[in-house]
Structure 1
Amino acid sequence: MPADGSGAGPRRLRLTDVQATSPTRTEALLAVAILGLVAAAIATEDAPTSRAALAGGFGVGLAGLLLVARRWTVPALLATAAGILGYYALELPPVGVAAPAAAILYVAAQRGRVVPAAAVGGSLLAVSVAARLVEGDDISVVIGAGLGSEAALILAVIALGDAVRNRRSLRVTLARQAASAAEERRREAARQVEAERLRIAREVHDTLGHTMSVVTLQSAVAREALADAEPERAEAALAAIHSVSGSAMAELRATLGTLRREPGPREPAPGFTQLRTLIEGVRRGGLPVDLRLDGSVDALPTVVGSTVYRIVQEALTNVLRHAQATRATVTIRATPARLSVEVVDDGRGSTGRTAVETGQGLRGMSERVALLGGTLDAGETADGGFRVSVHLPLAGVAA
């Protein structure tokens, strides 16, 4: 059974349970104080040995109840009240009412039993007053003979115990909040690290994927040209490989620079202004690409421009790798509220493409578009080609 007697089922005793119900140094000192109070009363009255022994046993009993009050608070409280009443019924050396009860009332209030503590304290005072009136004492004498000070002592120890409890509860709450905040900061840091890892993975995938597609295509052209004794054509293909490789190295340097521990200047990620250079590189790779612009794109937010660049790069890379296309068209339409990007090729659509071929690139594009709250649609065209269509909102995007 639980220590609080709530009637819940059996549970394993934990170290915190033992600590919460074990007597503290404060309770031990209060127990010693009770023994001292009774001893002083016995010495003052110079009581016979039998009465002194009985009073001493009372003191030991009160001290013992105090030491178990953290585990059995209300039973110890009631037993203390009964003991005090029995003490005076036996006409043992007077020790007051509030003084011997003060310690247990303090512990009870500290354990959250303020109402039972107040009820017991008030009952002891009421019984004390009633007993003296029955004995024939004048009411003015009874009230004036320390009743006010005893009532004040009872109220003070209950208030002190409750204040200590509230203070400890506040400390526990603040500690839990601090731990929760620290855990949330740790989770947020982990989320940021994961987001940065995915961003870098996308950047590396886009850069290397495009570059290797051009290199593969142009190396085949160069080999064919050398076999056909066409040095000028081979030289042009090798120049295209050199150009796209240099661009890829610059982009990788900027991307991997984000992994450096020390702060420092970093090259900006490619954006809309580099789009024509990208398309020109694809053209040199052997794929004719038409670029159509509709609307003003001069003031595009940086993040939108970078996303458009990567979308077009990945779409054209897929065309080079898998589509067997003879031509591609990139159409960009800009309005004050939205930017649309469409990449269409005349290749083999998705019929001959595997899930890996289409899935990896499309997933990367979808992630980029989703970060800006946009939409992406990809699929075959009516004439058998493939279309990638993206719509990005411009309203509310920071420049």
Structure 2
Amino acid sequence: MAVRLPRPPRFDVWVALAGLTGGLLLWGIGLGMRPDTQPMVVFDGRWPILVPLVVTACCELLRRAAPRIALLTGTAALVGDLLTQGNIATVLMYTDLMYAAVLYGTPASARRIPWITGLLTVVGTLVPYAMWREPEALLIGVGVGVVSFAPASTGLIVRNHREAADAALLRAEQTALLAEMDRTQAVTAERARMARELHDMVANHLSAIAIHSTAALSLDSPGTSREALTVIRENSVQGLSEMRRLIGILRDGADDLEPAATPTLDSLATLVEGARANGLDVTLDAAYDGVPAPVGLAAYRMVQESLTNALKHGAPGRVTVWLRRPEDALVLRVTSPYDGRDTPRAPGSGAGLVGMRERAALLDGTFQAGPESGPEGKLWVVRATLPVTDTVQGDT
């Protein structure tokens, strides 16, 4: 099967035409490199000069497409040129073939050709001098170095610079890709954080509003409706305040809406009082000391979401919030009566449990939630263990 060489680039075509044209002009005016009286001129006359010239010009067409073939064929043409009166254009085109073989050839060729040409330069310098003992003999080595070693070394230098530039470009692209991945992950993490904050801040108040508004609409009692509307108003105001706090966080640096302080475990009593106002029978049993801010916020949000779920899904009965801090962890447990019904008293999306699980995972903690049977009947139990260390980091 015949091997079809690729079409040469336009630049290589111009190089071949320029070399051939220049060689023909020198041949036309009769300007050769050696007189026909020299011993090494085997083919005297002007016409034999054209054969190496044309072959070398054709090799220039392959300087990038097939650099190894072009160099080997050009070397044979250069030897043939040495047996004639010679043409400087043939020699110049051969130096370009040597340069292109190192620059565009395989990595193995790029390593070997400079070594081979350097060795030939040394041999071409020492052997003639040792044979003839004439200073002029050193010029043979100089000629070999100029024709072979110099262009090969130049090609190696240019190739190394190009490879270094390509490696730098690849590193820059990889760095940009990593930066884009980091940005995407940061945006995703921030969106998840804001989703948790929005859900935890607003769901409790909206659930209370939905439940009490249903009671106000279903009961024909002015006193009950007034109490329900009072609870609705309180939860609306508190929900609006929480929304303003979230907007203040999103508008970081705004003068008119500065974010309020982040909730801590010290606010649990207030949270429990609000749940009682919404109709829950809640008891708080908490003992903790020196909890880092991320852990405190996560525990606060878990209690808040647990109370919201008890309001929406729980059966009548007592809800218990229990917190303790052993040596290196904050342990949280919230229990509420559970009757297993599928329809909640207020609509929900199920994102609360997901958010609590995410908060625990961000702090390398554990989280469990589900129904359990106990002495007091069937309960819904939320358990979380959050590690407490001086190096707790992360955004909950």
TM-score, with length taken from structure 2: 0.80
For 2:170, the aligned partner's letter is R
Q: Answer yes or no: is the 8 Å Cα contact 1:319–1:325 preserved in 2.
A: no
Kindly indicate whether residue 136 of structure 2 is the aligned counterpart of residue 148 of structure 1.
no
How many corresponding residue pairs?
Answer: 373
Report what 2:39 is aligned to: none
Aligned-pair RMSD on alpha carbons?
3.9
Q: Answer yes or no: is the 8 Å Cα contact 2:59–2:74 preserved in 1.
A: yes
Kindly indicate whether residue 209 of structure 2 is the aligned counterpart of residue 215 of structure 1.
yes
Kindly indicate whether residue 341 of structure 2 is the aligned counterpart of residue 352 of structure 1.
yes
Q: Answer yes or no: is the 8 Å Cα contact 2:68–2:101 preserved in 1.
A: yes
Report what 1:397 is aligned to: 392
CA shift for structure 1 position 206: 2.2
Report what 2:58 is aligned to: 64
Match for residue 110 of structure 2 among 97, 110, 114: 114
Q: d(CA) in 1 for partners of 2:207 and 2:366? A: 26
For 1:248, the aligned partner's letter is G
TM-score, with length taken from structure 1: 0.79
Report what 1:104 is aligned to: 97
Match for residue 335 of structure 1 among 318, 321, 326: 326
**1:193-249 per-position Cα deviation (integer Å, ceiling 9, x unaligned):** 122222222222223321122113333454577x3443xx54443322222221111
Q: Answer yes or no: is the 8 Å Cα contact 2:128–2:140 preserved in 1.
A: no
Report what 1:43 is aligned to: 31
For 1:283, the aligned partner's letter is R
CA shift for structure 1 position 374: 0.8
Q: Answer yes or no: is the 8 Å Cα contact 1:254–1:266 preserved in 2.
A: yes
Q: Answer yes or no: is the 8 Å Cα contact 1:31–1:62 preserved in 2.
A: no
Q: Answer yes or no: is the 8 Å Cα contact 1:98–1:154 preserved in 2.
A: no
Matches within 5 A, 1:312-327: 312-327=303-318
Match for residue 377 of structure 1 among 355, 360, 368: 368
Report the 3-state secondary structure (helix = DSSP H, G, I; strand = E; otherwise coil) of the residue aligned with 2:323. strand
Report what 1:300 is aligned to: 291
Q: 1:45 to 1:390 in 2, by over 3 A?
A: closer
Q: Answer yes or no: is the 8 Å Cα contact 1:98–1:151 preserved in 2.
A: no
Report what 2:352 is aligned to: 361
CA shift for structure 1 position 262: 7.0
Q: d(CA) in 1 for partners of 2:145 and 2:306? A: 86
Q: 1:3 to 1:345 in 2, by over 3 A?
A: farther
Report what 2:242 is aligned to: 251
CA shift for structure 1 position 39: 5.3
CA shift for structure 1 position 35: 5.9
Q: 1:131 to 1:191 in 2, by over 3 A?
A: closer
Q: Answer yes or no: is the 8 Å Cα contact 2:23–2:87 preserved in 1.
A: no
**1:157-184 per-position Cα deviation (integer Å, ceiling 9, x unaligned):** 2111011011111111111211221122
Stretches of structure 1 that go unaligned for 5 or more consecutive residues are 6-16
Kindly indicate whether residue 159 of structure 2 is the aligned counterpart of residue 165 of structure 1.
yes
Report which stretch shifted further, 139-148 or 389-398.
139-148
Report what 1:285 is aligned to: 278
For 1:22, the aligned partner's letter is P
Q: d(CA) in 1 for partners of 2:20 and 2:71? A: 15
Report what 1:180 is aligned to: 174
Kindly indicate whether residue 305 of structure 2 is the aligned counterpart of residue 309 of structure 1.
no
Q: Answer yes or no: is the 8 Å Cα contact 1:78–1:120 preserved in 2.
A: no
CA shift for structure 1 position 155: 2.3
